[in-house]
Amino acid sequence: MTAETLLQIAETYKSPVYVYDAHKIEAQYNRLTAAFKEISQLKIHYAAKALTNISILKFISKLGAALDTVSIQEVQLGLKAGFTAENIIYTPNGVSLRELESVAALGVQINIDNLELLEQFGHKQPNTPVCIRINPHIMAGGNSNISVGHIDSKFGISIHQMPLLLRIVENTQMTINGIHMHTGSDILDIDVFLQASEILFAAAKQFKKLEFIDFGSGFKVPYTPDDFETNIEELGKKLSQRFNLFCEDYGKPLTLAFEPGKFLVSQSGYFLTQVNGIKQTTSTVFAQVDSGFNHFIRPMLYGAQHHIENISNPNGKPRFYSVVGYVCETDTFASNRRINEINESDILAFHNAGAYCFVMASNYNSRYRPAEVLWYNKQNHLIRKRETLEDLLTNQLVLNF
Ligand SMILES: *Cc1c(COP(=O)(O)O)cnc(C)c1O
């Protein structure tokens, strides 16, 4: 998207506002399917939790993708957006047996990552095929918040528990139709991913009625101009070859599934904020914007580095700034960042604001959550209105004293 278009959107819908480029989502989807063109049955489940706006879900459904969900509410949103139950997989962690059964009753593929739950579910519903989430204990990435394959992780059934897993399957006579892993975000090293895949293949051999193998996600996208990204094309080549060999061995063509969130939507998003003012201290120049971690928490929660561009002053002389918000707590978006000279009321564009940004927004400090705009077919479409005071009071019951 061009700076002019973004500025125009900020003018029309005011600030702060989230903007998503539908064409970028489509391009990423096409890039992924092209990388795996050697796979005869490929299924891309978009991880809804990254960005759940209903119009985004509808757009992604139109592209031909399936959906990955982590709560019954995401399942319900997915159904509303037009995904069929057969095209939804439910991969929760720590949910109740009751929620699991409610989702299964909708005809959605369930994925279980806990042996107790597997046994309980298998006893009650032996005829419902289940996918199992394996933890291969391969460390991917360095941040323990987003790396979920390590030994202390709460996610998945440990690969070391295979004997017990097989006994439960035999005792309950349940059908395992899929096997899954999600090693966490930020895969930089394809060989680490392939190592984890080998563990999954070895486990997969133990089940005779598989229909699919789901390799989760963890595709890394670049967050700053000199950042790394997962080499999808190389991964596509290597994993496809290995997967097709596995299927020959297994004696049946299986579906290869993925669940990308970030990869599909991260780079499509821009978060536009306006500069309230510049504040100089003895050591730092602060640019204070009309937002905070109430709208955009990834820098504070994960230490995420989002590229920030001053789209109001593209030719300004670069200077060093700390970009901070207006929340009454430390809410640093970026420290000591080189940005083209910032003046009051400039519009700053935060890049990679598609995944895990709006969905984590809150009303802290009683601020309204931002509007969301979709750029599609060279036009902007409002897909969520900015909140109002009314919204802050919805669901509150006013007592009279
Ligand atoms: C969050 C999640 C994903 C998506 O991860 P990204 O890093 O956004 O691609 C996929 N699968 C499961 C089970 C998840 O929890």
* CATH code for the domain in which residue 306 is found: 2.40.37.10
| Residues 225-235 as b or e (16 or more Cβ within 10 Å = b) | eeeeebbbeeb
- Same structural domain for residues 164 and 240? yes
CA distances from 304 to 46, 209, 220, 332, 334 (A): 22, 41, 13, 11, 9
User: Which is the closest atom of ligand 1 to the Cα of 148?
Assistant: 15
Residue 141's pLDDT is 52
- pLDDT 10s digits, 250-292: 999 999 999 999 999 999 999 999 999 999 999 999 999 999 9
- 271 and 256 assigned to the same domain: no
256 & 271 share domain: no
221-248: per-residue pLDDT in tens?
Answer: 999 888 999 999 999 999 999 999 999 9
Which token pair is 283?
Answer: 């050591």
Determine the atom of ligand 1 nearest the C-alpha atom of 219.
9
Q: Indicate whether 57 pLDDT > 80.
A: yes
Pocket test residue of 221, 259, 264 for ligand 1, highest count of atoms within 8 A of CB? 259
Q: Name which of 154, 132, 128, 142 is nearest 200 in CA terms.
A: 132
- pLDDT tens digits for 151-182? 667 788 999 999 999 999 999 999 999 999 98
- Which one of 214, 244, 260 terminates a domain? 260
Q: How many CA atoms lie within 13 A of 19 on its CB side?
A: 29
In a domain, 354, yes or no: yes
**Do 309 and 2 meet the contact criterion of CB atoms below 8 Å apart?**
no
Q: Which of 42-46, 86-90, 182-186, 224-228 has the lowest mean pLDDT?
A: 182-186
Q: Closest by alpha carbon to 257, among 88, 118, 121?
A: 88
275 CA to centre of ligand 1 in angstroms: 33
Closest CA to 186 of 219, 162, 155: 219
Q: Which of 147, 217, 266 to mutate to test the pocket of ligand 1 (most atoms within 8 A of CB)?
A: 217
According to DSSP, residue 334 is labeled E
Q: Provide the pLDDT for residue 119.
A: 97
Q: Which of 218, 243, 260 is the last residue of a domain?
A: 260
Closest ligand 1 atom, residue 263 Cα: 9
Ligand 1 pocket test, candidate residues 52, 60, 68, 360, most atoms within 8 A of CB: 68
pLDDT at position 225: 85
283 and 371 inside one domain: yes
CA distance from start to end of the chain: 53
Q: Which two tokens stand for residue 209?
A: 């009625």
User: With bands split at pLDDT 50, 70 and 90, how would you rate the model's confidence at 183?
Assistant: confident
How much of the chain, in percent, has pLDDT values that exceed 70? Answer: 96
Q: Is 357 a catalytic residue?
A: no
83 in Cβ contact with 77 (< 8 Å): no
pTM over 0.85: yes
Is the CB of 156 within 6 Å of ligand 1?
Answer: no
Question: What is the tens place of the pLDDT at every residue in 96-133?
Answer: 999 999 999 999 999 999 999 999 999 999 999 999 99
Among 131, 247, 328, 357, which one carries the catalytic annotation? Answer: 328
Q: Please answer whether residues 317 and 280 qualify as being in contact, where contact means their C-beta atoms are separated by less than 8 angstroms.
A: no
Residues 219 and 161 in one domain: yes
**Same domain for 308 and 337:** yes
In this structure, which residue's CA is closest to atom 2 in ligand 1? Answer: 47
Atom of ligand 1 nearest to the CA of 266: 8
- Please answer whether residues 328 and 273 qualify as being in contact, where contact means their C-beta atoms are separated by less than 8 angstroms: no
Q: Is residue 96 part of a domain?
A: yes
DSSP state of 285: E
70 pocket-lining for ligand 1 (C-beta < 6 Å): yes
The domain in which residue 351 lies consists of 266-388
Of 199, 234, 260, which residue is a domain's last?
260
Q: Which residues contact 100 (CB under 8 A, 6 or more apart)?
A: 90, 92, 110, 112, 117, 121
DSSP type of residue 67: E
- Which of 141-150, 295-304, 344-353 is predicted least confidently? 141-150
Same domain (yes/no): 246, 275 = no
Q: Determine whether 239 is exposed, middle or buried from the number of CB atoms within 10 Å of its CB (0-12, 13-18, 19+).
A: buried
Q: Give the per-residue pLDDT at 151.
A: 62
Please, which residues have CB within 8 angstroms of residue 114's CB and are 6 or more apart in sequence? 93, 94, 157
How close is the Cα of 263 to the center of ligand 1, in Å? Answer: 10
Ligand 1 site, residue 259, Cβ cutoff 6 A: yes
Q: Are 210 and 148 members of one domain?
A: yes
> Looking at this protein, which amino acid is placed at residue 9?
I
Q: Note whether 298 and 213 are same-domain residues.
A: no
Closest ligand 1 atom to residue 133 Cα is: 13
Q: Is residue 103 part of a domain?
A: yes
Q: Is 216 in the pocket of ligand 1 (CB under 6 A)?
A: yes
Say yes or no: 213 and 311 in one domain.
Answer: no
Angle at 66 between CA 64 and CA 71, to 5 degrees: 150
The verdict on 256 and 375 lying in the same domain is no
What percent of the residues of the chain are helix, what percent strand, and what percent coil, each to the nearest 5?
A: 35, 25, 40
Mean pLDDT (the chain, rounded)? 94
Rg of the chain, C-alpha, whole Å: 23
Q: Is 355 in the pocket of ligand 1 (CB under 6 A)?
A: yes
pLDDT digits over 62-86, tens only?
A: 999 999 999 999 999 999 999 999 9
- Give the count of domains, the chain: 2
Residue 27 lies in a domain: no
Is residue 150 very low, low, confident or very high in pLDDT (cuts 50, 70, 90)? Answer: low
Asked whether 263 lines ligand 1 (CB < 6 A), one says: yes
Q: Based on the domain organization, do 223 and 79 belong to the same domain? A: yes
The answer to whether the CB of 184 is under 6 A from ligand 1 is no
Q: Is residue 300 part of a domain?
A: yes
CATH number at residue 115: 3.20.20.10
Question: What is the rounded distance in angstroms from the CA atom of residue 174 to the CA atom of residue 380?
Answer: 49
- Determine, yes or no, domain membership for 399: no
Residue 23 has pLDDT above 60, yes or no: yes
